[in-house]
Structures are given as C-alpha cells and as structure tokens.
C-alpha cells in the first residue's frame, strides 16, 4: 500500500491531534491524576469565595496572577470535567494556531510537511505539559503569537496576546520586554495590556480583597526570587551544578542570567534587522523561549515544552533548507530522545532535572548559530534586509 505525499505530509499533524485527544481522554478518566488543573480550580474557587490565593512563604500551589483565577471562573462553572476539557481545548487551540501561523509566515514549499515534522519531533517533550493541562502550553502559544503580531505591527493583536500571556504566567514578562525592545512604538499598547490585566480582578471581587491578593502575590514573587530553601526543585541551568554536588551561589547565578539576557537581547535585535521575515520571527521566539526555560529560576521539566515546539519547527526548517548534513539529524534525534526519558522511571529519576537544560542549550545554541550563519550567507549575495 502506497501513501500519497499529501497524506504523508499530514501524518504528523494528525498524530499531534490524536495525541491531544488521548491525553484529554486520560484526563477525563482520572481528573486529578498527573494534572495541575485542580490548582487552577482551587485558585478560582478561593477567588470566588474571597479566600487567600497564595501561600506566601511556601511559594507552592497557586502561583498565578489574580486575573487568572478571575478568568478561570467561567470554566469552573462548567463543572470539573467539562471545564477541564474546555481548558485543555483552549490551550491546544492557541498553541496549534501559533504553529500554523508561524509556518505560513515562513512560506516556501512543503509547508504541510514542515508543520507536521516540527510537531512530531517536539511531541515527546511537549506531551507531559499537554497531559498535565499546564498553563505553559497557553503561555507558549500566547508569547509566540505576541511575537508574530508585534513584529507585524498589529496593535490590537499585540494587546490581546500580551494580556493572555501575562495572565497565563507572570514569566511572560521576559517575552513582553523583548517585544517592547524590538518595537518601541508598541510600548503604549503593551503598557495598556498590563494595566488591563491588573484591573480585571476588580470586576469580580471587592477592592479590599483584590488589594490583599496583589500584596501577597508580589510578596510571594519577591520571596521566590530571594529564598531557595523551599521544597521546589528548579530545572534551570543551576540544576546541572546542583545535581553533581556543586550548587551555584545565587550571586553567580544572577550574573549568568543578566549576561544571558543581554546576549539574548543582542541576538533578537540582530535577527530583526538582518534575517528575512518569517524566519526572523521564529529565530526571535526561539531565543526568547530558550531564555525563559534555561534561565528561569522557577522552571520545571515540563516547562521545557515551551522551547520544544519552536525548536521542533526550527529543526524542520533546517531540514528543508539544508538538503544534507549531520546537524539536522543530530538535533532532531536529540530533541526526540530527550523528551522520551520520562518513559522509564529509573532513567527519568537519574536524568532529571539536569539533562534537559543541557540538551535544550545544545539544540538552541546550534539553531541560533544556524539562523545567524544562514542570514550571513544570504546577506553576502543580496545585502542586508531592512525592517521597520
């Protein structure tokens, strides 16, 4: 039996959809098993009952902005099972829309294959977050769409995706700041979006209660930044040193994060000016997602879904553009195998949390270099590309 090329090109996309349906079905059969959605429900229930949202000194449990609890309340009213399903559909829809829009922006030939291949090789690392119903999936899609919309100068869309990204997770501020640096004329729109997110909870609860929650929220964020004695085990670059018995002092870790932030800013500014449209947006988001995963002190293993999906698309683009060479094969294999380490518990326990920051750093740095080298080669023939 021979499979036609159009069908073959769609296999990856079909597998991506089937994987989502399977994870959603498993979640319905055991609602709170291997899931974090109950945290969102608990936060929304506490908000509606005007109870405290945060455990300030523990810095565990509900860690999101008050607006998240307010906006999750309609899903809470749908019931635990149906609300859980709708939440997962929203997250899956946003991230899939982001990938489709990015692939269309890349242009060229074999776009369906590019979409399918990118999703398939990112799936092993992304499935954990999909299965758990984590807001990381929504965060990834919103930040990606924010990047695409802002670089196209779309003000209304920039407002929408900035708001949604910040609501999904406060760490979205990294991508928001990068976008503001790339498009200063959109700063008023971004500031307005941030103000709206801050104001949203006041439409659902008394002013005094919301003020108290914001006080606890910002106090918790401060405590998380300065206190590492809690039960949370980070999976950022410091986990590599800690796993081998050489914990990195906080001062040195902060210096590394600042240097990495400056390098990331330099990279995205260069990509914006020298790389052709479509590829530039992907390169910029890869850099931003890389920083948000590897250099985020509150990152956990499943958060690496945020970098897995854009790197999967970038590797697919590399595969299409470079007709030969070992780099594309090596990066694809690394991405797939590193995502499959959770299949066997002993292997997972041995490799977690230190393996993913190493593998993701290798893959991301290789892609960042390839974006630069490819643009440099094209510039030698066609000259630099100017963008407004």
- The domain segmentation of the chain, as residue ranges, is 16-382
CA distances, 189 to each of 159, 175, 195 (Å): 6, 15, 10
Query: What pLDDT shows up at residue 58?
Result: 60
Query: What pLDDT shows up at residue 383?
Result: 54
How many CB atoms are located within 10 Å of the residue 102 CB? 25
When mean pLDDT is compared over 57-61, 298-302, 363-367, the highest value belongs to 363-367
Give yes or no for a contact between 143 and 285, defined as CB atoms under 8 angstroms apart.
yes
Query: What pLDDT shows up at residue 245?
Result: 84
- 297: tokens are 């002190």
Angle at which helices 66-77 and 207-226 cross, to 10°:
120
Give yes or no for a contact between 64 and 169, defined as CB atoms under 8 angstroms apart.
yes
Lowest mean pLDDT among 33-37, 82-86, 229-233: 229-233
pLDDT (average), residues 245-267: 91
- Position with higher pLDDT, 78 vs 5: 78
Cα of first residue to Cα of last residue in the chain, in angstroms, is 51
Q: What is the pLDDT of residues 97-130, one digit of tens each?
A: 999 999 999 988 888 999 999 999 999 999 889 9
Lowest mean pLDDT among 63-67, 233-237, 378-382: 378-382
Lowest mean pLDDT among 66-75, 196-205, 288-297, 375-384: 375-384
pLDDT (average), residues 34-50: 89
Count of positions (residues) in the chain: 388
Q: Which residue has the tokens 């974006």?
A: 371
> Structure pTM?
0.92
Q: Which residue has the tokens 């948000």?
A: 292
Give yes or no for a contact between 23 and 85, defined as CB atoms under 8 angstroms apart.
no
Lowest mean pLDDT among 6-15, 200-209, 341-350: 341-350
Query: What pLDDT shows up at residue 363?
Result: 95
Mean pLDDT of the residues in the chain: 88
Q: What is the pLDDT of residues 51-82, one digit of tens each?
A: 988 876 665 678 889 999 999 999 989 988 99
Query: What pLDDT shows up at residue 108?
Result: 82
């Amino acid at each position: 039996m021979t499979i036609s090329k159009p069908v073959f090109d769609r296999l990856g996309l079909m597998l991506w959809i089937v994987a989502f349906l399977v994870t959603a079905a498993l979640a319905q059969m055991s609602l709170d098993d291997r899931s974090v959605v109950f945290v969102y429900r608990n936060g929304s229930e506490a908000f509606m009952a005007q109870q405290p949202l945060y455990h300030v000194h523990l810095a565990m449990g509900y860690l999101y902005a008050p607006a998240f609890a307010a906006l999750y309340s309609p899903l809470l009213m749908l019931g635990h099972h149906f609300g859980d399903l709708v939440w997962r559909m929203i997250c899956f829809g946003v991230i899939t829309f982001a990938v489709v829009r990015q692939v269309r922006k890349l242009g060229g030939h074999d776009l369906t294959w590019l979409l399918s291949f990118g999703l398939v090789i990112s799936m092993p690392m992304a499935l954990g977050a999909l299965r758990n119903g984590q807001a990381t999936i929504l965060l990834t899609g919103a930040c990606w769409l924010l990047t695409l919309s802002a670089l196209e100068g779309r003000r209304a869309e920039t407002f929408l995706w900035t708001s949604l990204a910040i609501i999904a997770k406060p760490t979205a501020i990294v991508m928001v700041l990068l976008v503001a640096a790339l498009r200063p004329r959109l700063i008023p729109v971004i500031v307005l979006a941030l103000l709206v997110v801050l104001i949203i909870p006041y439409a659902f609860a008394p002013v005094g209660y919301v003020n108290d929650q914001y006080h606890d929220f910002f106090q918790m964020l401060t405590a998380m930044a300065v206190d590492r004695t809690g039960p949370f085990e980070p999976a950022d670059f410091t986990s590599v040193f800690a796993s081998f018995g050489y914990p990195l002092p906080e001062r040195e870790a902060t210096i590394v994060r600042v240097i990495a932030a400056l390098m990331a800013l330099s990279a995205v500014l260069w990509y914006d000016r020298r790389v052709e449209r479509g590829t530039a947006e992907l390169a910029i988001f890869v850099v931003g997602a890389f920083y948000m995963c590897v250099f985020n002190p509150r990152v956990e293993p499943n958060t690496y879904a945020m970098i897995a999906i854009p790197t999967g698309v970038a590797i697919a683009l590399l595969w299409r553009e470079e007709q030969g060479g070992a780099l594309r094969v090596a990066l694809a294999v690394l991405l797939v195998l590193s995502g499959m380490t959770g299949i066997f518990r002993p292997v997972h326990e041995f490799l977690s949390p230190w393996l993913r920051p190493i593998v993701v750093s290798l893959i991301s740095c290789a892609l960042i270099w390839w974006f630069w080298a490819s643009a440099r080669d094209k510039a030698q023939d066609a000259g630099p590309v100017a963008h407004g």
